Chain A
Amino acid sequence: MTESNEILTQLTGSEYKYGFYTDIETDTAPKGLNEDIIRLISHKKGEPDFMLAWRLKAYRHFLTMQEPSWAHISHPPVNFQDIIYYAAPKKKSAPKNLDEVDPDLITTFNKLGIPLEEQKMLTGVAVDAVMDSVSVKTTFKEELNKLGIIFCSMSEAIREHPELIKKYLGSVVPYTDNFYASLNSAVFTDGSFCYIPKNTRCPIELSTYFRINAANTGQFERTLIVAEEGSYVSYLEGCTAPMRDENQLHAAVVELIAHRNAEIKYSTIQNWWPGDKSGKGGIYNFVTKRGICLDENSKISWTQVETGSAITWKYPSVILRGDNSTGEFYSVAVTNNYQQADTGTKMIHLGKNTKSTIVSKGIAAAFSNNSYRGLVRVEKNAVNARNFSQCDSLLMGNRCGAHTYPYIEVKNKSAKVEHEASTSKIGEDQLFYCTQRGLNKEKAVSMIVNGFCREVMSKLPMEFAVEAQKLLAISLEGSVG
């Protein structure tokens, strides 16, 4: 057995520390997908009629669509009738403050390290926590209200700010966009809504924590962020789920809208349950994330650290419509055991002098498959568009796969598009060098991997960079090559 394999075996033996399940009474809808279920969801949430009408249109369109098959992933077909589309922790009425929140819920979120309690909020992070289908508590709301910033659950936004929802929901990802986005539009249950008024800099990181707790549940969250002219917001989402044998579906849609001179920074730490060592169970993470730089000088930046999920299918994208707008995508995707990831981005250049940067770091261990898929499209009128893409893959062991599928479509001659790619293995020489300096193999691997990802990690908000580094080490514990 070579050194690499040995370490690989150790690494893959690591445990998922978020795999606990909280026994909370839940209010669930019957399994299955039909118009009645959609009506039930809309009713449970007390939605206005326009929302139900939109959901039903999306559902009818969904029925005409096929699951996409072009991604480099494989899984048995998803039985959409075998999923519970609505599960909510039971409660008497909406909690008005922390004392009214179910203590078991608070324990769950404490285990996850989410600072829900008031005293912990001094860390400067406003959190919206979503358990299964319902947003449990949004912290810091009043402070934000004073600035005119709206940060609340999607359900609440639909009830309280219907004019904004009508204007923006589905404006970047229409319900006809793709199979999973249509499904999401029909059955989405909650998520976060965030509105930053003109010339306002959101003073704290906004954060959402998603957790799938109930069995057989799908989580279909919908997030919408609108940054008005001259505003700035940094938003972070984190995700975990308990260990279960069956696969659970998570099909989210995230839409970002940046007006003139506005900037949105969106960071994700995705750590859904990846399945066990033999590939049993785990979350199917089929997500559509897209932002639009609507007017001049706007900027959208996606940063993602993807370590969880049995299968990841997501391409956070930016439509660069405004002149001089900027799109960025920084990604670390780790796959271990039998995980599959097909992830990347799309940068669509429409405006003049638009710039995009793509930095993707894929790390594959054990039997996993890790693919980067990215599209850079420069349209006719996008004079002087610039793109730089860098895709690096790091392999551990001999049985994993790394793939790169870059697509470049250029329709304007002044465009400058650069693409760099590399594939490397953690060498035994590198490992020996580190162990000779006193590091054990796991420490050595974690150090080498974090070095490999440094460019991306440095884009994360400080508070989360450390957590992300630890997460990387945990995900790869024991897996060197």
Chain B
Amino acid sequence: MLIIKNLKASVNGKEILKGIDLEIGAGEVHGIMGPNGSGKSTLASVLSGKPGYEVSGEATYKGKNLLELPPEERAAEGLFLAFQYPVEIPGVSIINFLKTCINEIRQYRKTGPIPPKEFLSLIREKQELLQLDTNFINRPVNEGFSGGEKKRNEIFQMAVLEPALSILDETDSGLDIDALKIVSNGVNAMRTGNRSFLVITHYQRLLQYIVPDFIHVLSNGKIVKSGRKELALELEEKGYDWVREGRRQETGNRGK
């Protein structure tokens, strides 16, 4: 699904990602953990094509050179980013926004606009999944939303757009335990077939609900440790200092 080799990124000459190697297979869930400032969000931004970074290295997604595609084509190819800080779009209703997005993506895929009936039943199904009240979709995108509502809206959009690869950037931050469960259920419901996830988080709490196949620890722009899901617990126990200065270690099989 996604193969990253020696990915480096800097902003205004300051190097933030210092050579990332990562491989995410179809159907896999990878967790990325790391202390503040380790480059977690930058990784998410660079993969989704946010402007403003000088990027080198390779990222191959579904056999295509990801780094050459503009963000909208990455999205149309099935890459989704759940934002850490979702942006407000005043006056644009969620339902209108999503319909436009779906139809743009379908145009890219040459499948023609979605029939209204199909669209409405899709929306209804996902609203139930995320336990959103019926009026939610008529509200303007993120305008006046609480932190939790914004995050739930991100996962709702993800559920509606049904991406092949979803990157969740600190989706757990700002969520109380009930909202966290709802959001995690939403993600887990999509863990079928070949869908892959890259779950970025500061705390291992989220990874108790969205159990990853692999965990990587990012520190100072590099993956310093990779392992199976147990690694999260170990990290929680020993703290990031345990890996911060260490070299990359392999615990358990990487697979693939």
**A and B from one assembly?**
yes
Q: Identify the A interface with B (CB < 8 A).
A: 3, 427-430, 432-441, 443, 447-448, 450-455
For B91, the chain A residues whose CB sits under 8 A away are: 450-455
Residue among B74, B76, B87, B91 with most chain A CB within 10 A: B91
Interface residue B21 (Cβ < 8 Å from any Cβ of A): no
> Closest approach, in angstroms, between the C-beta of A8 and any C-beta of chain B?
14
- Give Cα distance in the complex from A430 to B75, angstroms: 15
Does the CB pair B100–A435 fall under 8 Å? no
CB-based A-B contact count at 8 angstroms: 76
Interface of chain B residues 136 through 165 with chain A (CB within 8 A):
140, 157, 161
Does the CB pair B157–A3 fall under 8 Å? no
- Give Cα distance in the complex from A62 to B140, angstroms: 50
- Give Cα distance in the complex from A440 to B101, angstroms: 10
- Give Cα distance in the complex from A451 to B143, angstroms: 11
Does the CB pair B92–A447 fall under 8 Å? yes
- The stretch from B44-52, B215-223, B225-233 touching chain A is B44-52
For A441, the chain B residues whose CB sits under 8 A away are: 72
Binary contact readout B71-83 vs A (1 if CB under 8 angstroms, 0 otherwise) = 1101110001101
Does the CB pair A439–B89 fall under 8 Å? no
- Give Cα distance in the complex from A427 to B89, angstroms: 10
A-B contact pairs, 16 of them (CB 8 A): A428-B51, A435-B71, A435-B72, A436-B74, A436-B80, A437-B97, A437-B101, A438-B72, A438-B108, A439-B72, A439-B100, A443-B100, A447-B97, A447-B100, A451-B92, A455-B91
Name the 5 nearest CB pairs between A and B, nearest first. A451-B91, A451-B92, A454-B91, A438-B75, A433-B87
Q: Which of B70, B86, B89 contacts A451 (CB 8 A)?
A: B89
Does the CB pair B92–A448 fall under 8 Å? yes
For B104, the chain A residues whose CB sits under 8 A away are: 438-440, 443
> Closest approach, in angstroms, between the C-beta of B149 and any C-beta of chain A?
16
For B157, the chain A residues whose CB sits under 8 A away are: 437
- Give Cα distance in the complex from A434 to B51, angstroms: 13
Binary contact readout B151-185 vs A (1 if CB under 8 angstroms, 0 otherwise) = 00000010001000000000000000000000000
For A454, the chain B residues whose CB sits under 8 A away are: 91-92
- Which chain B residue shows the least CB distance to A453? B91
- Give Cα distance in the complex from A350 to B104, angstroms: 52
- Give Cα distance in the complex from A428 to B89, angstroms: 12
- Give Cα distance in the complex from A436 to B100, angstroms: 13
Does the CB pair A433–B101 fall under 8 Å? no
> Given the known A-B contacts A443-B104, A447-B97, A447-B100, are A436 and B89 also in contact in the complex, defined by CB atoms under 8 Å?
no
- Give Cα distance in the complex from A235 to B205, angstroms: 61
- Which chain B residue shows the least CB distance to A361? B91
For B87, the chain A residues whose CB sits under 8 A away are: 427, 429-430, 432-433
- Give Cα distance in the complex from A453 to B91, angstroms: 8
- Give Cα distance in the complex from A450 to B90, angstroms: 9
> Closest approach, in angstroms, between the C-beta of B233 and any C-beta of chain A?
32
Q: Which of B50, B76, B92, B100 contacts A432 (CB 8 A)?
A: B50
Interface residue B200 (Cβ < 8 Å from any Cβ of A): no
Interface residue B187 (Cβ < 8 Å from any Cβ of A): no
- Which chain B residue shows the least CB distance to A433? B87
Interface of chain B residues 39 through 73 with chain A (CB within 8 A):
48-52, 70-72
Interface residue B224 (Cβ < 8 Å from any Cβ of A): no
Interface residue B33 (Cβ < 8 Å from any Cβ of A): no
Does the CB pair B92–A436 fall under 8 Å? no
> Given the known A-B contacts A3-B51, A436-B48, A437-B157, are A430 and B89 also in contact in the complex, defined by CB atoms under 8 Å?
yes
> Given the known A-B contacts A428-B51, A439-B104, are A447 and B71 also in contact in the complex, defined by CB atoms under 8 Å?
no
- Give Cα distance in the complex from A79 to B204, angstroms: 75
Q: Which of B49, B86, B102 contacts A433 (CB 8 A)?
A: B86
- Give Cα distance in the complex from A429 to B60, angstroms: 25
- Give Cα distance in the complex from A232 to B32, angstroms: 64
> Closest approach, in angstroms, between the C-beta of B176 and any C-beta of chain A?
24
Does the CB pair A433–B140 fall under 8 Å? no
Given contacts A436-B74, A447-B97, 15 further A-B contacts (CB under 8 A): A432-B51, A433-B86, A433-B89, A434-B89, A435-B72, A435-B75, A436-B50, A437-B75, A437-B161, A438-B75, A443-B100, A443-B104, A451-B89, A451-B90, A451-B140
Does the CB pair B89–A432 fall under 8 Å? no
For B50, the chain A residues whose CB sits under 8 A away are: 432, 436
> Closest approach, in angstroms, between the C-beta of B153 and any C-beta of chain A?
11
Does the CB pair B101–A448 fall under 8 Å? no
For B16, the chain A residues whose CB sits under 8 A away are: none
> Closest approach, in angstroms, between the C-beta of A160 and any C-beta of chain B?
46
- Which chain A residue shows the least CB distance to B71? A435
Interface residue B198 (Cβ < 8 Å from any Cβ of A): no
Does the CB pair A432–B71 fall under 8 Å? yes
- Give Cα distance in the complex from A439 to B140, angstroms: 17
- Give Cα distance in the complex from A413 to B154, angstroms: 50
- Which chain A residue shows the least CB distance to B72? A435
For A443, the chain B residues whose CB sits under 8 A away are: 100, 104
For A435, the chain B residues whose CB sits under 8 A away are: 49, 70-72, 75
- Which chain B residue shows the least CB distance to A428? B51
Does the CB pair A436–B97 fall under 8 Å? no
- Which chain B residue shows the least CB distance to A429? B87
> Closest approach, in angstroms, between the C-beta of B143 and any C-beta of chain A?
9
For A452, the chain B residues whose CB sits under 8 A away are: 90-91
- Give Cα distance in the complex from A441 to B104, angstroms: 12
For A447, the chain B residues whose CB sits under 8 A away are: 89, 92, 97, 100
> Closest approach, in angstroms, between the C-beta of A194 and any C-beta of chain B?
32
Does the CB pair A438–B101 fall under 8 Å? yes
> Closest approach, in angstroms, between the C-beta of A103 and any C-beta of chain B?
36
- Give Cα distance in the complex from A429 to B86, angstroms: 9
Interface residue B105 (Cβ < 8 Å from any Cβ of A): yes
For B97, the chain A residues whose CB sits under 8 A away are: 437, 447
> Given the known A-B contacts A3-B51, A447-B92, A453-B91, are A436 and B75 also in contact in the complex, defined by CB atoms under 8 Å?
yes
- Which chain B residue shows the least CB distance to A392? B90
> Closest approach, in angstroms, between the C-beta of A4 and any C-beta of chain B?
10
> Given the known A-B contacts A432-B71, A439-B101, A443-B100, are A448 and B76 also in contact in the complex, defined by CB atoms under 8 Å?
no
> Given the known A-B contacts A433-B83, A439-B100, are A450 and B92 also in contact in the complex, defined by CB atoms under 8 Å?
yes
Q: Which of B49, B52, B90, B102 contacts A436 (CB 8 A)?
A: B49
- Give Cα distance in the complex from A169 to B101, angstroms: 51
- Which chain A residue shows the least CB distance to B92? A451
- Give Cα distance in the complex from A417 to B59, angstroms: 58
- Give Cα distance in the complex from A451 to B70, angstroms: 24
> Closest approach, in angstroms, between the C-beta of B85 and any C-beta of chain A?
8
For A434, the chain B residues whose CB sits under 8 A away are: 89
Does the CB pair A438–B105 fall under 8 Å? yes
